[in-house]
């Protein structure tokens, strides 16, 4: 059949086609209005996580930054996509199911099955600015017009959306606390070692001074001691920094390689100072033996004392970080019970269904007409 013949066939049978279309559309409208479950969504908007430097490094430590920045850098630098994956996790869904007893609501056999059904109803959207929009699709039973579920389902949709944000906050804080705990344990062990070395150095210096009375050092030697002590302190700080991040990084990590290179360079500078170099006014090897021994003892006490003070400061910061109970997720707009249903869309769905029925009926009449024409030709 040609295009004009198809149009003529549809026009010829327009009355029965329109009758079936109108009747079907009316039935569909009544089903959607009185029978079909009504769904609600209450969106909540989450601000993107703050972005910090992946590695603060020695400069951050010298500036007073705590070691928690090293251990939590992965989480602090987490992008919004990581938050999305955490929200999709089974742990997040199970938290919501357990908190609001959703096993019966989803007619599930156990919590895991209810969590799976809940995850299927979770809607997540990530904007280009990193803002996350979250909602949970909650629906009434059949025949919603003849029940009083609408208000409770509206409220439940907002409750579930906010509960997912709570689960994200809890998971996030647990990870931060775990990282801070590992940092605290590591620093605690270093603190004990440094305390032992400091006590030993102070005792050795005291015995030396008692044995040799008072030994004065030239100002140039004192300046060299201060320079060596500062350099040795930098070496220890870098070693601690390396010890904190090494378990969490691959051997070929750029950050890890940079720290190792920095540590080696600091050690080379310290060895040059020990052996003598034109960059320094007085090398320790050029100091008289008694003076050199005193210089070494004074330097060791100074180094261990500075390192001990640093570790003690960081230790208490890590304890605060580990035990703090502050929310880490920032909400832009909290979920509230919606005023309108998200589905069904009565007018849109009815019109769409009517168009589909019209095209289907037109196709059937055209196909039947083609069949008649072919039969007559044969």
Residue ranges covered by each domain of the chain: 1-36+344-378, 182-323
Structure-token match 């742990």, residue found: 91
- The CA distance from 337 to 334, in Å, is 10
Q: What is the mean pLDDT of residues 132-154?
A: 90
Q: What is the mean pLDDT of residues 204-226?
A: 70
- The CA distance from 215 to 224, in Å, is 17
pLDDT band of 272, cuts 50, 70, 90: confident
Beta bridge pairs of residue 123 = 135
- The CA distance from 226 to 223, in Å, is 5
What is the per-residue pLDDT for 378? Answer: 66
Are the CB atoms for 46 and 134 separated by under 8 Å? yes
What is the per-residue pLDDT for 219? Answer: 61
Residues with Cβ within 8 Å of residue 54, at least 6 apart in sequence? 73, 77, 255
Residues found in the chain:
378
What is the per-residue pLDDT for 291? Answer: 67
| Bigger pLDDT: 329 vs 95 | 95
Residues with Cβ within 8 Å of residue 175, at least 6 apart in sequence? 75
**Which tens digits make up the pLDDT trace of 311-345?**
888 888 877 766 665 557 889 999 999 999 998 88
Backbone angles phi, psi at 102, to 5 degrees: -95, 5
How many C-beta neighbours within 10 Å does residue 237 have?
20
Backbone angles phi, psi at 257, to 5 degrees: -65, -35
| Whether pLDDT at 284 is above 60 | no
What is the per-residue pLDDT for 204? Answer: 87
User: What pTM, to 2 d.p., does this model score?
Assistant: 0.60
The closest of 40, 28, 43, 41 to 144, measured between CA atoms, is 40
Q: How far is CA 87 from the centre of its chain?
A: 10
Are the CB atoms for 350 and 29 separated by under 8 Å? yes
- The CA distance from 365 to 72, in Å, is 69
Are the CB atoms for 168 and 86 separated by under 8 Å? yes
- The CA distance from 64 to 66, in Å, is 6
What is the per-residue pLDDT for 57? Answer: 38
pLDDT above 90: percentage of residues in the chain? 33
DSSP state of 44: E
* Average pLDDT score over the chain: 81
Q: What is the mean pLDDT of residues 136-163?
A: 91
List the structure tokens of 29: 């409208």
What is the per-residue pLDDT for 361? Answer: 93
| Bigger pLDDT: 49 vs 207 | 207
What is the per-residue pLDDT for 326? Answer: 56
List the structure tokens of 247: 């378990």
The closest of 261, 196, 273, 265 to 229, measured between CA atoms, is 273
pLDDT band of 63, cuts 50, 70, 90: very low
| Whether pLDDT at 79 is above 90 | no
Q: From its phi and psi, is residue 321 left (phi > 0), alpha (psi between -120 and 50) or beta?
A: alpha
CA angle 311–312–313, rounded 5-degree value: 90
Pairing of strands 44-46, 132-136: antiparallel
Torsion angle of the four alpha carbons 285, 288, 291, 294, in this order, in degrees rounded to the nearest 10: 40
- The CA distance from 137 to 342, in Å, is 8
Residues with Cβ within 8 Å of residue 81, at least 6 apart in sequence? 126
Please spell the DSSP secondary structure of 82-147, one letter per residue: HHHHHHHSHHHHHHHHHHHT-TTTTT-SSHHHHHHHHHHTEEEEE-TTS-EEEEE-EE--S-GGGS
Decide: helix, strand or coil at residue 39.
strand
């Amino acid at each position: 059949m040609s295009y004009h013949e198809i149009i003529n066939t549809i026009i010829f049978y327009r009355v029965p086609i329109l009758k079936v279309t109108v009747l079907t559309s009316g039935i569909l409208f009544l089903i959607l209005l009185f029978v079909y479950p009504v769904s609600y969504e209450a969106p909540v908007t989450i601000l993107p996580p703050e972005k910090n430097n992946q590695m603060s490094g020695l400069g951050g430590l010298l500036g007073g930054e705590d070691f928690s920045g090293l251990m939590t850098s992965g989480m602090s630098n987490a992008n919004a996509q990581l938050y999305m994956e955490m929200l999709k996790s089974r742990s997040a869904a199970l938290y919501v199911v357990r908190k609001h007893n959703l096993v019966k609501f989803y007619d599930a056999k156990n919590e895991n099955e209810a969590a799976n059904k809940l995850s299927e109803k979770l809607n997540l959207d990530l904007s280009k600015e990193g803002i996350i929009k979250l909602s949970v699709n909650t629906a009434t039973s059949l025949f919603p017009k003849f029940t009083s579920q609408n208000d409770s389902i509206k409220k439940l949709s907002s409750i579930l959306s906010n509960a997912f944000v709570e689960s994200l906050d809890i998971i996030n804080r647990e990870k931060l606390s775990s990282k801070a705990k590992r940092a605290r344990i590591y620093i605690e062990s270093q603190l004990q070692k440094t305390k032992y070395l400091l006590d030993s150095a102070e005792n050795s210096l005291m015995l030396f001074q008692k044995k040799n009375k008072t030994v004065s050092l030239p100002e140039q030697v004192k300046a060299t001691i201060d320079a060596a002590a500062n350099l040795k302190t930098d070496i220890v700080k870098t070693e601690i920094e390396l010890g904190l991040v090494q378990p969490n990084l691959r051997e070929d990590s750029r950050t890890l390689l940079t720290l190792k290179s920095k540590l080696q360079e600091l050690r080379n500078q310290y060895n040059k100072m020990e052996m003598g170099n034109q960059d320094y006014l007085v090398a320790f090897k050029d100091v008289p033996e008694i003076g050199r021994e005193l210089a070494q003892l004074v330097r060791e006490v100074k180094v261990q004392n500075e390192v001990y003070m640093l570790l003690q400061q960081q230790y208490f910061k890590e304890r605060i970080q580990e035990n703090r109970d502050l929310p880490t997720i920032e909400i832009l707009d909290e979920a509230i019970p919606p005023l309108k249903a998200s589905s069904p869309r009565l007018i849109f769905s009815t019109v769409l269904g009517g168009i589909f029925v019209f095209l289907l009926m037109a196709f059937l009449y055209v196909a039947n007409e083609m069949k008649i024409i072919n039969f007559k030709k044969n």
